[in-house]
Structure 1
């Protein structure tokens, strides 16, 4: 089991990758999963789904807005009080913002993605560091996007800019925290077949007047593995970077996209 006896915090619990990260962490043997989201309803759903697969993983639910440093520190304090340690933090919380272009965007709209994807993620990361430094161990995984690697046909400039800044910050963190045996890595996700993408495909297929299966197949033609990866698969790749199997890896970026983008 990748995460046997680990205590794992997952931010951004939601209907897509976030909840799958929590579920798969529990499936991979975590002794405790701390679920953080702005919505208590999403946290209740995550707990229910974890309990369905195992009774050996403690679940702590924390309503948290990661842009609020006090909320981040409450989350960490509650985690330490309940479990005594923090082995991994998976930073999955994000705001996508408008589908826009750098040349025409209302730049005031970029504050949302920047405040959450960059500054909020760093606030939560900074909040776990005292505990990880005391332990002399820890793994932090930043969930990033393929839109940082290549410009997509749809406008995602503000979202991509916030994530690009996070990717650079991750390298700084890896260098700064290495002496404390704290690893910091990035996973760049591409298309993920789960609730958000399923919703997009249903909407776009309706706009184009074509079957959903046809649109899905069109997207898959750009993926060498021949299909859109599931969010379960993508979650497991992220959790690998948090596991002891990646104990010699820090400052790295793992592309999780079925080969849609290759360096």
Structure 2
């Protein structure tokens, strides 16, 4: 199993990729999964899904706003108290912000996006670094976006700017922490079929008065594999980067988008 006996923290538990990351970590043999989100009900849902697998993974739930350093420290402490170590951190928490364009955006509104996607992610990463340094091992993966790699037709300028800054910071972290046995990588997601994207297509179908399938096919025709990847698939790609199979990989970026973007 990909994550046999590992202790994995997953931030940003929600109805899409976040909960799938936690579930797939448990399915892949993690001994412990520490789930974090701003809302306790999302954590309860993650715990129920993991228990339904019938696996041995112990679940620790921690309400955490990653923009608050003390809450990040508390999350790391809860993981260490429960398991004595932290093998992996999957930074999935994010704030999308407004659908905007750099030429017309309310730049003050970008602050909240930056506080979560860049500074909050770095705060949580910094919170687990001392434990990983003491172990001389650990792996961090940043959930990033295809919007950093190519300019989408949708207005996502603020979101993309925050994630581009995170991508750059991840390389600094990889360089700085490599001597301590800590790896840091990024995975850039594109379209992911799951609850959030399905809801988006259903809304667009109502607005445009067209079938959902027509909209889906309009996107899928630009994806070499001919379909929108599922969030389960993308979660497994991210978890590969914190597994021992990627022990020689740090400072790297992996595109998990069905080939829609190729560097």
Please confirm whether the aligned pair reaches a TM-score higher than 0.5, indicating the same fold: yes
Corresponding position: 1:221 with 2:221:
yes
Cα distance in 1, alignment partners of residues 76 and 215 from structure 2: 42
Q: What is the rounded CA distance, in whole Å, between the counterparts of 2:55 and 2:233 in structure 1? A: 23
- Structure 2 runs not aligned, ≥5 long: none
**Partner in structure 2 of residue 244 of structure 1:** 244
What is the DSSP-based 3-state SS (H/G/I as helix, E as strand, rest coil) of the residue aligned with 2:60? strand
Coordinate RMSD, CA, aligned:
0.4
Cα deviation digits, residues 133-185 of structure 1 (max 9, x gap): 00000000000000000000010000000000000000000000000010000
How much does 1:55 deviate?
A: 3.7
Q: Scaled by the length of structure 1, what TM-score is found?
A: 1.00
Q: How many residues align?
A: 263
Q: Aligned partners of 1:185, 1:154: CA distance in 2, in Å?
A: 26
Q: Which residue of 2 aligns with 1:112?
A: 112
Runs of at least 4 residues of structure 1 off by over 6 A?
none
Give the match's secondary structure for 1:192.
coil
Query: 2:26·2:55 contact (CA, 8 Å) conserved in 1?
Result: no
In 2, Cα distance between equivalents of 1:35 and 1:155: 30
TM-score by length of 2: 1.00
Output the CA distance in 1 between the equivalents of 2:11 and 2:190. Answer: 19
> 5+ unaligned residues in a row in structure 1: which ranges?
none
Give runs of aligned pairs for residues 1-263 of structure 1, distance below 5 A: 1-263=1-263
Equivalents in 2 of 1:96, 1:183: separation in Å?
26
Give the SS at the match of 1:236: helix
Cα pair 1:223 1:259 within 8 Å, conserved: yes
